[in-house]
Amino acid sequence: MTNSSTARFAATERVFVGGTWERAHGEPYDVLSPATGEPVARVLLPSAEDADESLARARAAFDDGRWSRLPASRRADLVEAFGAAFARRRREIDRAWVQESGPTAAHAAALNDAVELMWRDQVAHARALVTREVRDLPDGRVRVLREPVGVAVVVTTWNGPALYFAMKVVPALLAGCTVVVKTAVESQLTSRLIAECAGEAGLPAGVLSILAAPTGVSERLVADPRVDKVSLTGSVAAGRQVMAACAPHLTGLTLELGGKSPAIVVGDIAVDKVLPSFVPGFIAYQGQICAALTRLIVPKRRRGEFVEAVVGALSEMRVGDPGDPASDLGPLSSLRQYERVREYIAIGIAEGATPVLGGQTEDPRPGHYVSPTVFVDVEPHMRIAQEEIFGPVLCVLTYGDDEGEDLADAIALANGTRYGLAASVYADDEDVAADVAARLDSGTVSINTAGVSLFAPFGGTRQSGFGRENGAEGIAEFLRVKSVKLS
């Protein structure tokens, strides 16, 4: 499958550094289609040298005030223009993401529709933000100021390249930070298109750099003393490495590190009240979403009916070319993800879990296709029940016995991993559901639905990370508070 996006970038050697396109200093890199395994573009990667130049320009642009001291309303105007350029280029950006990372065209369109709304929502929050106020306090008058923290490094992954701009980059820019974005090395096409949008918006020189680079560039960026704030979306292992790199300079840090999100079914709620949201909550983008509901916790007495219903719904889904409108699911994003998921399926079988759907580790088609897999006979200690697989693998766990169930057991199962990012509770009694939600150690919980709000504060607990994104809280992550005592 080819389109104008890949043709335009078939031999690019440029990287977006501080608002200008420079020749990259890294190695050649082939962008491979996850649907076929064939190259769709060749680029030159950004290098540590490009990272250093990006930081130098960001530091200068912040320190001389061309962005940090620009009136907040003017910053909002420019970020709004950036969003308008993104909206104009949507078809290209959607197609590019389908090609480089394999979401279905429908998924790409739906998520990037939301990105446009999030972008506008963030601008609205910025326009309403109070950056200075005077407080009459018991010991006198104090002016409280909210100021940008400085140079921000944003590190993102491939499963929502535009989404992470709306969640991280837009709030940082609106706060007055200059930003260096290290996108995933797999996100070459989308990164370049979004960079073109930034160029069209007319951001001042040095304010924004976008580097679709290997992890070595991330390591260079986050350890640099010129950086004041790091925001990362990635794995727990990546989070630990970034924390260690930030520690010597006490660099501010926001981490979103994934999850092993549970869905708890309570009592006798009808299956048809659960499946319409649970199934997409599990399988959207082949399960390659941090908040995917990959653990279904059901009363033991109801396991059979839920397994039958979930297997039936998943069996009807077509796995195929992500550019084909008839495909419900596409391939996994890369060979690395494909091999990871296959390994976890093998681990689950070796641990004694039973695949009642899928479980096959080979697919005769070219590309990185893995069919949805559902495991039963899963014990809570098993690796497939504890570790984030990031693929279409569901674990069904049970609580209670044939006579009834104790919700404390279900809550213990739900809280029984190192993660705490998202969860769902399904129950006919909303008071019971609310009580269960309150007892879950999770940054966000949905009741009788799935997914997270992209306009409310989002983030995790425990090893899912810390800090919050989206809403006014997302901008606050890039602000610091100063008190000025008045005479």
Catalytic residues: 256
Q: What is the DSSP-derived secondary structure letter of residue 21? A: E
What residues are paired with 299 via a beta bridge? 399
Edge-to-edge strands, sheet with 140-148: 132-137, 140-148, 479-485
Distance in angstroms (rounded) separating the CA atoms of residues 11 and 16: 15
> What secondary structure does DSSP assign to 227-285, as a single string?
--EEEEES-HHHHHHHHHHHGGGT-EEEEE----EEEEE-TT--GGGTHHHHHHHHHGG
Here the tokens at position 388 are 């984030």
Taking the CA of residue 359 as centre, how many other CA atoms within 13 Å lie in the half-sphere pointing to its CB? 14
> What secondary structure does DSSP assign to 79-122, as a single string?
HHHHHHHHHHTHHHHHHHHHHHH---HHHHHHHHHHHHHHHHHH
**Who's near 110: CB < 8 A, 6+ residues apart?**
none
CA dihedral 32, 35, 38, 40 (to 10 degrees): -60
Tracing tokens 């044939």 back to the chain, one arrives at: 402
Contact by Cβ (8 Å): 358, 371: yes
Q: 3-state DSSP call for residue 275? A: helix
What residues are paired with 466 via a beta bridge? 255
Tracing tokens 């923290």 back to the chain, one arrives at: 149
**Who's near 249: CB < 8 A, 6+ residues apart?**
223, 225, 227
The DSSP element (H or E) to which 316 belongs, if any, is: none
Contact by Cβ (8 Å): 123, 80: yes
- Among candidates 126, 51, 98, which has minimal Cα distance to 473? 126
Contact by Cβ (8 Å): 382, 277: no
Contact by Cβ (8 Å): 206, 16: no
Distance in angstroms (rounded) separating the CA atoms of residues 123 and 344: 42
**Who's near 270: CB < 8 A, 6+ residues apart?**
none
- Among candidates 402, 443, 441, 37, which has minimal Cα distance to 254? 443
Distance in angstroms (rounded) separating the CA atoms of residues 82 and 92: 16
Helix segments in 202-272, DSSP class H: 215-222, 236-246
Amino acid of residue 63: D
CA 468 to chain centre: 12
